[in-house]
Amino acid sequence: MSTRSRTRALLDDVSLTSDRLRTIGLYAALYGTAFLFMLPYWYMFATSFMTRDLVYAEVPHLIPWDLTFYWYEYLLNNSLIVQWTANTVILAGITTLVVILIDAMIAYSLTRLDWPGRRAIFAIIVASFMVPGIVNLVPVYIIVSELGLVNSVWGVVLPSAANPLGVFMLVQFFKDIPEELEEAARLDGFSRLRVFTHIVLPLMRSALAALGLFIFIWTWNAFVWPLLIFQDDSMYTLPIGLVTLQDNLGITEPGVIMTSAVVASVPLLLVFLVMQKPLVRAVEMQGTTK
Amino acid sequence: MTSITGLASLAGCTGYIGASRDGVEYWTLFGGGDGTVMAAIVDEINAGDSYDGLQINRQRVPWEEHYGRLYTSMVGGNPPDIAVMHSRMMRDYQDSLVSVTDEIGTEPYLDEMAQGGVVDGEQLAVPIDTHPFGLYYNKEIFEEAGLDPEDPPNTPDRFAEVADTIVENTDYWALDFPEGEYAAETMQMLLHSRGGQLLTDDYEPAFETDDGLAVVREMHDWVHEREWAPVDPTNGWDAWNRGEVGMKIEGTWHITVVREAGFEFGLTEPFVMPDADDPVTVGDSHMLIIPQSDDRNRERLEETIETVRLLSQRFNDQWGYDAGHLPASEVALNSDTLRESDTWEQTLETFYGMVEEEQVVRPPATPNVEEYTEQIYQPLDDMRAGNLTPEEVIETAAGGVTQTFERR
């Protein structure tokens, strides 16, 4: 093949057919949209490293040309941010585990055990979705206060233990587990508790991981209830602590706001990345069953 | 289960399980500059030997959540020993507060401020300051515009003249003023200067008048007719911090911000409303209250009252020279440390002058303060954004205020 014909063949390979043009357009649109979604996060991240002059500059900067760690130093030196981070991890961790355990037991009992009124109880749980949480704020606070749980981590964990979202979600998953599996285990002499812990829970790993992730994120971001219960600066969680740093008679410092947003969101991002696989698997499971 | 036990143990080790604490529980809403000062004052009391081992557990509550949380804790029977409260909020809480008429009294404080805590002859709150609005100005921009930086405008005519000069001779904005609840307070300040008021004694809107319309139109014209101030308050705030705004209406607390901004600044009276016979500024007070509690014994109450005394008297001058608020205590106001401080020279002398001339008006203490204020500032903010005319602002705000109190 001559050089000329080889060149023509190469050009034919890269010629822009309508299909290829459509693909390029599609990718450009998708990446462009993804970029737009990323932009606020990038701005948050970049601003946390900008000097005060850049933060207040007339034209917004996307690149911190003049790099500084001032806002991070400010947060570390003027707040209990390390303590707040530890508190948030502990609170979110305990709440997640308690919710998974309690909700799994409730859901199992509602789907597999035969007891009078279970349909009514399930209906009440589902109906409780319709009641805005803020309506229960004062009554639940009074109960928690009477129990002496104000200023205690259990005052935050226990009211959310029987989470209607979790129960509803797990009931749907439990319904999809073949009853024959349990019957076989019971023929082998398994007790009800052993069936639950050794057969059902392992089969539900993806669903429990998905629920755990939701609860962890929800607890991590919880604001009003922990604020009511924790009556000590050193017990605050990250969202509360960072807000106390941000506002002062309406005065806000963008550098502090953006840096605190980075600090509050990076751990969650890491958790999401770690838990991504089971979350996707749970969604697939739910999507492929009847 | 093992994981829960592990996390619970970790919580216990880090002290995160929580427990009731010894000492006086004190909830503040101060953040930023004045939050640091209040923290330092409390730390000094806690560390000192001269206060009989008094321990104060100060807790900073986020500004927006302070009153909701305080209300819930009082309803739930778990209130703090002391909380900070604005005098305008007293009405909603007055039935649940401990009277300190005999233990503290109003004598140690400037009468105008002390009266903000008195309801039906009972002293239910003790003032620590007043924090009125002033007119901050950028001396560097004044010089650039050919104005005398030591001769700030303290009459409406001079204000208009200076604003026009800045706009004509420089590339900067002449003015910025607050949004949100402080926009409503700015309106109140201008209205009072013309002899009007926001509410009647029966909580009816009192601004549907010629004066009310003139005030709102003036705020409209600052932005949309004379173009002294930017449409977007955020742009105004950023520009002020960059040193690109000539004047700004702000409160006592702003001194910590403007010091950080780094330009030469001054302060004068915010007498900017044309045809105002009695120009005034508006200034609320931070008060200390003691919520009623069945759990508080006599000894704890005495410690609580001693704490109120220390914060509102012994350490009140520090609250002035470090945090920038005008102290409420007569002794603190006359202390050499305060009078010789930079803060006195830069701002407090002017604020005190307005107090002495009876030019500071306290916002009215009413029920539903946050709700009715919102009904006023939302249309004001909309007008600044260019969405409402002054007439529509008056109509919308009056309707909203009426509804707020009718619902009650």
The answer to whether A284 faces chain B, any CB pair under 8 Å, is no
By Cβ distance, the residue of A53, A57, A231 closest to B59 is A231
* pLDDT of the residue at B199: 94
Nearest CA of chain A to the CA of B232: how many Å? 13
The answer to whether A104 faces chain B, any CB pair under 8 Å, is no
Is the pLDDT higher at A215 or at A290? A215
* pLDDT of the residue at B50: 80
B276-304 average pLDDT score: 93
User: Can you identify the CATH homologous superfamily of domain B132-282+367-407?
Assistant: Periplasmic binding protein-like II (3.40.190.10)
Rounded Cα distance between A234 and B15, Å, is 9
* pLDDT of the residue at A10: 66
- When pLDDT is cut at 50, 70 and 90, the band that residue A249 belongs to is very low
Cβ(B394)–Cβ(B216) under 8 Å?
yes
In chain A, positions 118-137, which contact chain B (CB-CB < 8 Å)? 137
The answer to whether B234 faces chain A, any CB pair under 8 Å, is no
Judge whether residue A243 has pLDDT over 90: no
Tell me the β-bridge partners of B247.
Answer: B137, B175
In chain B, positions 176-195, which contact chain A (CB-CB < 8 Å)? 178, 180-182
A250-270 average pLDDT score: 81
Nearest CA of chain B to the CA of A19: how many Å? 47
Asked if B18 and A152 come within 8 Å (Cβ–Cβ), the reply is yes
User: Taking the mean position of all CA atoms in its chain, how far away is CA B373?
Assistant: 14
Record the pTM: 0.81
Judge whether residue B195 has pLDDT over 90: yes
Judge whether residue A43 has pLDDT over 70: yes
Rounded Cα distance between B269 and A283, Å, is 63
The token pair at A95 is: 């709440």
User: Can you identify the CATH homologous superfamily of domain B20-128+285-361?
Assistant: Periplasmic binding protein-like II (3.40.190.10)
By Cβ distance, the residue of A90, A152, A247 closest to B10 is A90
* pLDDT of the residue at A252: 63
The answer to whether B21 faces chain A, any CB pair under 8 Å, is yes
Cβ(B97)–Cβ(B125) under 8 Å?
yes
* pLDDT of the residue at B17: 55
Strands B24-28 and B56-60: parallel
* pLDDT of the residue at B290: 97
The answer to whether A179 faces chain B, any CB pair under 8 Å, is no
DSSP structure string for chain A: --HHHHHHHHHHHT---HHHHHHHHHHHHHHHHHHHHHHHHHHHHHHTTB-HHHHT-SSPPSS-SSB--HHHHHHHHHS-HHHHHHHHHHHHHHHHHHHHHHHHHHHHHHHH---TTHHHHHHHHHHGGGS-GGGGHHHHHHHHHHTT-TTSHHHHHGGGSS-HHHHHHHHHHHHTS-HHHHHHHHHTT--HHHIIIIIIHHHTHHHHHHHHHHHHHHHHH--HHHHHH--SGGG--HHHHHHHHH-BTTB--HHHHHHHHHHHHHHHHHHHHHHHHHHHHHHHHHHH--
DSSP structure string for B182-219: HHHHHHHHHHHHTT--SB-TTS-B---SHHHHHHHHHH
- When pLDDT is cut at 50, 70 and 90, the band that residue A3 belongs to is low
In chain B, positions 51-90, which contact chain A (CB-CB < 8 Å)? 57-65, 68-69, 72-73, 75-78, 80
B169-175 average pLDDT score: 96
CB neighbour list of residue B267: distance below 8 Å, 6 or more residues apart: B134, B135, B136, B137, B152, B346, B347, B350
* pLDDT of the residue at B7: 56
Judge whether residue A216 has pLDDT over 50: yes
Rounded Cα distance between B30 and B37, Å, is 9
The answer to whether B13 faces chain A, any CB pair under 8 Å, is no
Judge whether residue A16 has pLDDT over 80: no
Rounded Cα distance between B347 and B324, Å, is 8
Full 3-state SS string of B144-171: HCCCCCCCCCCCHHHHHHHHHHHHHHCC
Mean pLDDT of chain A: 85
Mean pLDDT of chain B: 92
The answer to whether B121 faces chain A, any CB pair under 8 Å, is no
Is the pLDDT higher at A113 or at A276? A113
- Residue B258: closest C-alpha in chain A: A251
- Residue B63: closest C-alpha in chain A: A247
* pLDDT of the residue at B308: 97
In chain A, positions 216-245, which contact chain B (CB-CB < 8 Å)? 224, 227-228, 230-235, 240, 243-245
One-letter identity of residue A269: L
* pLDDT of the residue at B15: 53
- Report helix, strand or coil for B361: strand
Judge whether residue A250 has pLDDT over 50: no
* pLDDT of the residue at B313: 96
Tell me the β-bridge partners of B84.
Answer: B288
Strands B118-119 and B82-86: unpaired
- When pLDDT is cut at 50, 70 and 90, the band that residue B355 belongs to is very high
Nearest CA of chain A to the CA of B240: how many Å? 9
Q: How many CB atoms lie within 10 A of CB A283?
A: 13
Judge whether residue A5 has pLDDT over 80: no
- Chain B residues in contact with A91 (beta carbon < 8 A): 16
- Chain B residues in contact with A138 (beta carbon < 8 A): 72, 75-76
- Report helix, strand or coil for B357: coil
Nearest CA of chain B to the CA of A228: how many Å? 6
Rounded Cα distance between B111 and A30, Å, is 67
Among residues A151, A233, A158, which one has the least CA distance to residue B20? A151
Strands B125-127 and B286-289: antiparallel
Predicted confidence (pLDDT) per residue in A61-81, tens digit: 888 888 899 989 988 887 888
- Chain A residues in contact with B61 (beta carbon < 8 A): 227, 244
One-letter identity of residue B219: M
The answer to whether B263 faces chain A, any CB pair under 8 Å, is no
Rounded Cα distance between B156 and B135, Å, is 12
A vs B, Cβ pairs < 8 A, gives 129
Q: What is this model's ipTM?
A: 0.74
* pLDDT of the residue at B351: 97
By Cβ distance, the residue of A94, A141, A232 closest to B76 is A141
Instruction: Choose the weakest-confidence range: B3-7, B95-99, B179-183, B326-330.
Output: B3-7
Tell me the β-bridge partners of B175.
Answer: B247
Predicted confidence (pLDDT) per residue in B100-143, tens digit: 999 999 999 999 999 999 998 999 999 999 999 999 999 999 99
Predicted confidence (pLDDT) per residue in B333-349, tens digit: 999 999 999 999 999 99
The answer to whether B4 faces chain A, any CB pair under 8 Å, is yes
DSSP structure string for B276-344: -SS--EEEE-EEEE-B--TT--HHHHHHHHHHHHIIIIITHHHHHHHH--EE-BHHHHT-HHHHTSHHI
- Chain B residues in contact with A155 (beta carbon < 8 A): 18
A73-92 average pLDDT score: 88
Location of each CATH 3.40.190.10 domain in chain B? 20-128+285-361, 132-282+367-407
The answer to whether B254 faces chain A, any CB pair under 8 Å, is yes
* pLDDT of the residue at B86: 94
User: Top-level CATH class of A80-288?
Assistant: mainly alpha
Asked if B32 and A57 come within 8 Å (Cβ–Cβ), the reply is no
* pLDDT of the residue at B10: 56
* pLDDT of the residue at A244: 81
The token pair at B198 is: 């926001």
* pLDDT of the residue at A47: 92
- Residue A223: closest C-alpha in chain B: B65
Instruction: Choose the weakest-confidence range: A2-6, A169-173, B319-323, B388-392.
Output: A2-6
Rounded Cα distance between A42 and A45, Å, is 5
Location of each CATH 1.10.3720.10 domain in chain A? 80-288
The answer to whether B7 faces chain A, any CB pair under 8 Å, is yes
* pLDDT of the residue at B143: 96
| DSSP H/E element including B123 | strand B122-123
Asked if A247 and B25 come within 8 Å (Cβ–Cβ), the reply is no
Predicted confidence (pLDDT) per residue in A182-191, tens digit: 889 888 888 8
- Residue B72: closest C-alpha in chain A: A138
Asked if B58 and A56 come within 8 Å (Cβ–Cβ), the reply is no
- Chain B residues in contact with A83 (beta carbon < 8 A): 14
Question: Which of A80, A152, A231, A243 is the best mutation test for B, with the most CBs of B within 10 A?
Answer: A231
In chain B, positions 328-387, which contact chain A (CB-CB < 8 Å)? none
Judge whether residue A4 has pLDDT over 80: no
Instruction: Choose the weakest-confidence range: A251-255, B145-149, B208-212.
Output: A251-255
Among residues B225, B200, B189, B196, which one has the least CA distance to residue B210? B196
CB neighbour list of residue A170: distance below 8 Å, 6 or more residues apart: A103, A104, A106, A107, A108, A204, A207, A208, A211
* pLDDT of the residue at A289: 46
- When pLDDT is cut at 50, 70 and 90, the band that residue B2 belongs to is low
